[in-house]
Amino acid sequence: MLTAFGRAFKTPELRNKILFTLGVMALFRLGSQLPTPGISYSLVQHCQKGATGSGQSLLGLANLFSGGALLQLSVFALGIMPYITSSIIVQLLTVVIPRFEELKKEGQSGQTKMTQYTRYLTIGLALLQSSTLVAVVRARPSTLIGGSSSSCPTVMPNNDLLHVAIMVLVLTAGTGLIMWLGEQVTEHGVGNGMSLLILTAIAARVPGSVWAIHDRGWGTFLLVLAIGLAIIVAVVFVENSYRMIPVQYAKRMIGRRMYGGTSTYIPLKVNMANVIPIIFASSLIALPMMVAQYMQPQNGKPAPGWVIWVTNNLAQGDSKSYMLIYTVLVLFFTFFYVQITYQPDEVADNLKQAGSFIPGVRAGKATAQYLAYVLNRITVVGAIYLSVLALIPLVALGIVGANTNFPFGGASIIILVGVGLETVKQIDSKLQQHHYEGFLQ
């Protein structure tokens, strides 16, 4: 692999793509460290030292995808989350809105329009989220960063309307710049730009998260590393696992020649939902906790019963109630997302129009039923797999005291492994185009 990596840098075209990608990743990390105008970096650091961790547990996923920039209130504080959210919304609306479904079938031109809609929605969400973020920081920064109001009274020396408007514009522009950088990497670099920026944000926090376990002793540290290596191997195996459904093309006589008769496969990935169910489940379970935090009793008044239950059962990620609800949500969203994004009826119609069939299965409705049956069985395995990965950071939180951004589980490990494998495959394919041995040899 090291030899192939050296050959990649000896190829001018590929070397320029790799260097361009690395440069954009470095620029992304730089923006994640620059404080937003109007924010006092020293006050933010002071608040984080006195944080109890409760605020971080609510926004752990968003902070993870921003590479820690959210809790530091930097220029790229919103990170890639507005783009991820808008992409998911547009993808789900494809099933609901006929116009979007038509655009999806139009090919490249339709995909270009869908991408444009995603950009507009990203800027809209970024404007909404930045306004909410600035309002929270202006009124009660301890809600975001953690700690008490007395230890973290403010992080904005000047909170007048002008400074607030500048902060909102800078945060929104930061999200737009991230989106543009990701598209540039996709066009001029190696791999999918947005995915690589997410990988950069997560990978930047891995060393600190792993080294934090060292405080529990060398034995625990080495044991966690060994378990982490086993988890990575298992994730690589599952992410590369497919259910191959054979497809046979019918023979046709055109003139004096026989065409068709070849066979191929329909690959159904075991984890078709990828990391989306974990994102949905984390976002949904965080809503009642965020509402309950604002409903805390004031002036000695008793809190509502549901606020007390949420505080006692959902505020701590290692509680049994939290784990149970979180697992159920991951299972539900896995089946929900797969059923929406993969349409067996559409695949069956395409096979019928192409003159192909699955051996032993009638064309048309019977093929759709067979595909749905196989898809449901695969989704069961994928849902259990995602649930186990989602629970790993929570179990680690209770056993070794790691934070909720534990790098060997949840969304982080799927993104790190999945994006890494996909990027290596793209580099390998480009090497093979230049008649070199690839990474995967």
pLDDT digits (tens, 9 = 90+) for 211-233: 777 777 788 788 888 888 888 89
Q: In terms of domains, do 105 and 252 share one? A: no
Residue 439 lies in a domain: no
Higher pLDDT, 192 or 318: 192
Identify the domain boundary among 155, 189, 208. Answer: 208
Q: What is the CATH number for 158?
A: 1.10.3370.10
Residue 265 lies in a domain: yes
Residue 295 lies in a domain: yes
Cα(265)–Cα(213) distance, rounded to whole angstroms?
45
Whether 58 has a pLDDT exceeding 60, the answer reads no
Q: In terms of domains, do 201 and 343 share one? A: no
Q: In terms of domains, do 265 and 321 share one? A: yes
Cα(32)–Cα(175) distance, rounded to whole angstroms?
11
Q: In terms of domains, do 281 and 391 share one? A: yes
Structural domain boundaries enclosing 268: 217-408
CA 310 to mean position of chain CA atoms: 26
Q: For the chain, what is the domain count?
A: 2
Q: In terms of domains, do 125 and 198 share one? A: yes
Q: What are the backbone dihedrals phi and psi of residue 265, each rounded to the nearest 5 degrees, phi first?
A: -140, 150
Q: In terms of domains, do 147 and 278 share one? A: no
Residue 281 lies in a domain: yes
Identify the domain boundary among 159, 174, 208. Answer: 208
Cα(440)–Cα(424) distance, rounded to whole angstroms?
8
Least confident of 109-113, 155-159, 165-169: 155-159
What the block records as the tokens of 404 is 């909720």
Q: Using only C-alpha atoms, what is the Rg of the chain?
A: 24
Residue 150 lies in a domain: yes
Q: In terms of domains, do 178 and 151 share one? A: yes
Query: pLDDT class for 129, splitting at 50, 70, 90?
Result: confident
Q: Looking at residue 417, what is its pLDDT?
A: 86
CA torsion through residues 155, 45, 36, 84, sign: negative
Per the prediction, the chain carries an average pLDDT of 79
Q: In terms of domains, do 148 and 249 share one? A: no
Whether 198 has a pLDDT exceeding 70, the answer reads yes
Least confident of 36-50, 97-111, 163-177: 36-50
Residue 81 lies in a domain: yes
Cα(66)–Cα(204) distance, rounded to whole angstroms?
10
Q: Looking at residue 56, what is its pLDDT?
A: 39
Say which DSSP state 213 is in: G
Burial 127-141 (b: 16+ CB within 10 A, else e): bebbbebbebbbebb
Is residue 361 within 8 A of residue 367, CB to CB? The reply is yes
What the block records as the tokens of 33 is 């460290």
Q: In terms of domains, do 320 and 378 share one? A: yes
Cα angle 186-414-118, degrees, rounded to a multiple of 5: 40
Whether 300 has a pLDDT exceeding 90, the answer reads no
Q: In terms of domains, do 9 and 108 share one? A: yes
Q: In terms of domains, do 195 and 261 share one? A: no
Residue 303 lies in a domain: yes
Q: Looking at residue 52, what is its pLDDT?
A: 47
Q: In terms of domains, do 278 and 404 share one? A: yes
Residue 232 lies in a domain: yes
Q: What are the backbone dihedrals phi and psi of residue 236, each rounded to the nearest 5 degrees, phi first?
A: -60, -40
Q: What are the backbone dihedrals phi and psi of residue 200, each rounded to the nearest 5 degrees, phi first?
A: -60, -45
Identify the domain boundary among 208, 236, 261. Answer: 208
Higher pLDDT, 416 or 61: 416
Q: Per-residue pLDDT averaged across 160-177, rounded?
A: 88
Which H or E element spans position 246? strand 242-249
Is residue 186 within 8 A of residue 144, CB to CB? The reply is no
Least confident of 22-36, 379-393, 417-431: 417-431
Q: Secondary structure of the chain: what % helix, strand, coil (to 5)?
A: 70, 5, 25
The pLDDT tens digits of the residues spanning 326-370 come to 889 999 989 988 888 888 888 888 888 877 888 888 888 888 999
